[in-house]
């Protein structure tokens, strides 16, 4: 009888041991002795959620999930690991909209940042202020979603200046990368629009940093892929918010004209947003945009594919305020009058500022309703130097993407001024004045994700062979050599900063740059 019982216990244990289901508290130190124990979860329901992300490609089960009720909980956890004889890894999990397990911690502890929001804002919450030296700014918790920052700041007639296309991302998550969208040409990425941060380092120290105070930590953390500290508060630049925008889409059949016009517009004052995309004939023109085109416009645009091989869409926006309501149309006409889009293929819309900024949300809800949002997303995001963009178009956008006809999801292409980036920060971009952000936002489902991933590899191989010195954005690499190559001249400083702020390599192991030790 005892033998049978023992056998059943062994069977049950083996089913939860191993890479997919670690035993409760498989951490090396007894974390359950801490005050935060009540907010730690070891059960499979909690750890399973923490092993998923938007990419739906990688699953790493942590030993536990912390639902912090305050910033102090995260300090206690990090200090505990740092002082433990065998430290365990810790990953801040914002909204888990990474695509390659970057917010996961195999056998470590995942900190569910958004739970700071549920606990009466004992995190840093969201506060709007003004000072003579900084103007208007918002102090926001690293766990806050950008959509909530937008809603709160708009109540004061203010808004951040630099955005991402999609707003259901956390402040800590985008500042760990860069945060880019069509405003970046003029304001730089989101990391460029931060005055100050509160950070918990890998040693468990809670530090405030800025350009003037603990500046090395400040520069390390911005674009630092979560390697140097957990952001618990960011002081974000605000400006007067427009109420409405003029939103324009134009279509091109010629990449040279398309990129020339984009580059012209980002070097001219007047517009507030410039983006672009490859509009494949299987790519609906509304792709990832709230319905912009009427059905009649859509069939006109579709007719272009009978005439031209490849179509590129340029999207620009001009904000306007009560004072400029009478002049905005004229100003816009002046800005667009020299452009070389296909005659007649310009479409204009007047929208509220929030509807424009939150444009991807309705597409998310519609894809979700069709079961097409939670599918694998083997994304590839690149920064391409301007010197290589024509070859990139011919070799990648036309030969690989268009001719192979194996894509699903938007393909973004737009230029950014590199001078708007601060090289002291950890983020890396090609060393040229103008760089193109190119996003292959693939959705698996209709097409096997491995096929799309194979195409990503083909794109990188093409760039390598053609000598186009691209840098990955939201980078993902398998080997140390690739990371060293990615950071290039910045690798040694990245390494030194890691030794200083997270010497035991505890933080954000899912990025796969350093090994716990």
**Residues of this chain that bind ligand FAD (CB under 6 A):** 53-54, 91-98, 102-103, 113, 142, 164-166, 169-170, 172-174, 176-181, 225-226, 230-231, 474, 508, 510-511
Shortest approach of ligand FAD to residue 55 CB, angstroms?
Answer: 8
Q: Per the residue annotation, which of 73, 198, 275, 363 is the catalytic one?
A: 275
Is 315 catalytic? The answer is no
The DSSP H or E segment spanning 247 is strand 244-252
Sheet containing 411-417, strands listed edge to edge, beginning at the edge strand earlier in sequence:
346-352, 244-252, 312-320, 273-278, 411-417, 434-440, 380-385, 471-473
Is 453 catalytic? The answer is no
Nearer to ligand FAD, 70 or 253 (CB): 70
For the CA atoms of 390, 395, 397, 400, the dihedral, rounded to the nearest 10 degrees, stands at: 180
Nearer to ligand FAD, 166 or 255 (CB): 166
The b-or-e profile of 31-51 (16+ CB within 10 A means b, else e) is beebebeebbbbeeebbeebb
Shortest approach of ligand FAD to residue 170 CB, angstroms?
Answer: 3
Nearer to ligand FAD, 300 or 500 (CB): 500
Q: Per the residue annotation, which of 165, 263, 272, 363 is the catalytic one?
A: 165
Nearer to ligand FAD, 55 or 242 (CB): 55
Shortest approach of ligand FAD to residue 229 CB, angstroms?
Answer: 7
Rg (CA), the chain: 24
- Residue whose C-beta lies closest to ligand FAD: 172
Shortest approach of ligand FAD to residue 111 CB, angstroms?
Answer: 8
How long, in residues, is the chain?
Answer: 517
Q: Where are the beta strands (DSSP E) in 113-243?
A: 126-131, 135-141, 158-160, 194-201, 206-210, 229-240
Shortest approach of ligand FAD to residue 374 CB, angstroms?
Answer: 11
Distances in whole angstroms, Cα of residue 312 to Cα of each of 181, 250, 379, 385 = 17, 8, 20, 19
CA distance 66 to 503: 22
Alpha-helical (H) ranges within 343-424 are: 353-357, 359-369, 389-392, 403-404
Nearest 5°: CA angle at 295, between 294 and 297? 65
Nearer to ligand FAD, 62 or 226 (CB): 226
* DSSP-assigned letter for residue 159: E
Nearer to ligand FAD, 274 or 339 (CB): 274
Partners of 74 in the beta sheet?
none
CA distance 101 to 91: 10
Cβ atoms of 137 and 193 closer than 8 Å: no
CA distance 501 to 428: 19
Shortest approach of ligand FAD to residue 110 CB, angstroms?
Answer: 9
SS3 state of residue 86: coil
Shortest approach of ligand FAD to residue 228 CB, angstroms?
Answer: 8
Shortest approach of ligand FAD to residue 106 CB, angstroms?
Answer: 13
Nearer to ligand FAD, 195 or 402 (CB): 195
Which DSSP string do the residues of 22-48 spell out, in sequence order? Answer: PPTT-SSS-GGGSGGGGGEE-SHHHHH
Q: Per the residue annotation, which of 53, 73, 95, 97 is the catalytic one?
A: 97
Catalytic residues: 97, 165, 275
């Amino acid at each position: 009888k005892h033998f049978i019982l023992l056998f059943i216990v062994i069977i049950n244990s083996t089913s939860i041991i191993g890479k997919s289901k670690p035993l409760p508290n498989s951490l090396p130190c007894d974390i359950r002795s801490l005050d935060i124990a009540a907010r730690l979860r070891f059960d499979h329901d909690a750890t399973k959620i923490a092993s998923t992300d938007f990419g739906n490609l990688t699953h790493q089960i942590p030993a536990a999930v912390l639902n912090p009720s305050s910033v102090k909980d995260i300090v206690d956890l990090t200090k505990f690991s740092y002082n433990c004889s065998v430290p365990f890894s810790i990953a801040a999990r914002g909204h888990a909209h990474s695509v390659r397990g970057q917010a996961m911690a195999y056998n470590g502890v995942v900190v569910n940042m958004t739970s700071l929001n549920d606990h009466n804002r004992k995190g840093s919450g969201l506060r709007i202020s003004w000072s003579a030296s900084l103007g208007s700014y918002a102090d926001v918790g690293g766990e806050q979603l950008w959509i909530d920052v937008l809603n709160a700041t708009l109540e004061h007639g203010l808004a951040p200046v630099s955005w991402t296309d999609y707003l259901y991302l956390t402040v800590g998550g985008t500042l760990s990368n860069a945060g880019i969208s069509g405003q970046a040409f003029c304001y730089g990425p989101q990391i460029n629009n931060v005055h100050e941060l509160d950070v918990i380092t890998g040693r468990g120290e809670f530090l405030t940093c800025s350009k003037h105070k603990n500046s090395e930590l400040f520069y390390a953390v911005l674009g630092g892929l979560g390697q140097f500290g957990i952001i618990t508060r960011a002081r974000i630049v605000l400006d007067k918010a427009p109420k409405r925008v003029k939103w324009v889409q134009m279509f091109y059949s010629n990449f040279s004209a398309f990129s020339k016009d984009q580059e012209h517009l980002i070097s001219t004052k007047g517009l507030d947003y410039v983006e672009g995309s490859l509009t494949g004939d299987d790519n609906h023109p509304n792709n990832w945009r709230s319905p912009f085109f009427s059905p009649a416009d859509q069939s006109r645009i579709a007719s272009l594919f009978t005439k031209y091989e490849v179509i590129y869409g340029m999207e620009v926006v001009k904000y306007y305020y009560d004072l400029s309501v009478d002049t905005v149309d004229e100003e816009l006409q002046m800005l667009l009058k020299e452009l070389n889009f296909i005659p007649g293929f310009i479409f204009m819309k007047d929208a509220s500022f929030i509807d424009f900024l939150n444009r991807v949300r309705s597409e998310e809800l519609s894809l979700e309703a069709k079961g097409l949002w939670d599918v694998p997303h083997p994304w590839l995001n690149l920064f391409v130097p301007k010197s290589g963009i024509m070859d990139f178009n011919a070799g990648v956008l036309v030969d690989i993407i268009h001719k192979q006809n194996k894509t699903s999801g938007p393909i973004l292409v737009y230029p950014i001024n590199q001078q708007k980036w601060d090289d002291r920060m950890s983020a890396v971009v090609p060393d040229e004045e103008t760089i193109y952000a190119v996003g292959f936002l693939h959705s698996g489902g209709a097409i096997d994700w491995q096929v799309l991933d194979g195409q990503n590899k083909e794109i990188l191989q093409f760039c390598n062979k053609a000598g186009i010195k691209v840098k990955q954005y939201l980078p993902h690499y398998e080997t140390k050599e690739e990371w060293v190559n990615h950071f290039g001249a910045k690798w040694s400083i990245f390494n030194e900063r890691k030794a200083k702020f997270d010497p035991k390599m505890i933080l954000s192991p899912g990025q796969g740059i350093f090994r716990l030790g």
